[in-house]
Amino acid sequence: MDALATLFPNIGSAELWQTLTSIVVAAAVFFVSVYLLRKEEMAEQAEAENIGADIGEVQRPA
């Protein structure tokens, strides 16, 4: 641990840990929002396919 302290003297500072925590929280919020947006988009696409099947516009695989 002393070797790390000599290489990185700021490793114990509160500002560094606050910055790292902020970065991790921002990354988590970003990835969760992307996940939720993709989930919503997939649901809309599935709903559109179901509506198309209901009115007889069945898409056949190529």
pTM, two decimals, is: 0.59
Q: What confidence score (pLDDT) does residue 60 get?
A: 60
Query: Does the residue 32 lie in any domain?
Result: yes
Q: How many domains does the chain have?
A: 1
Query: Does the residue 47 lie in any domain?
Result: yes
Per-10-residue mean pLDDT, the chain, length 62: 70 84 97 96 85 61 57
Query: Does the residue 18 lie in any domain?
Result: no
Query: Does the residue 62 lie in any domain?
Result: no
Query: Does the residue 2 lie in any domain?
Result: no
Over the Cα atoms of the chain, what is R_g? Answer: 24
Closest CA to 16 of 28, 31, 32, 5: 5
Q: What confidence score (pLDDT) does residue 23 get?
A: 97
**4: CB partners within 8 A, 6+ apart:** 11
Domain that holds residue 34: 24-54
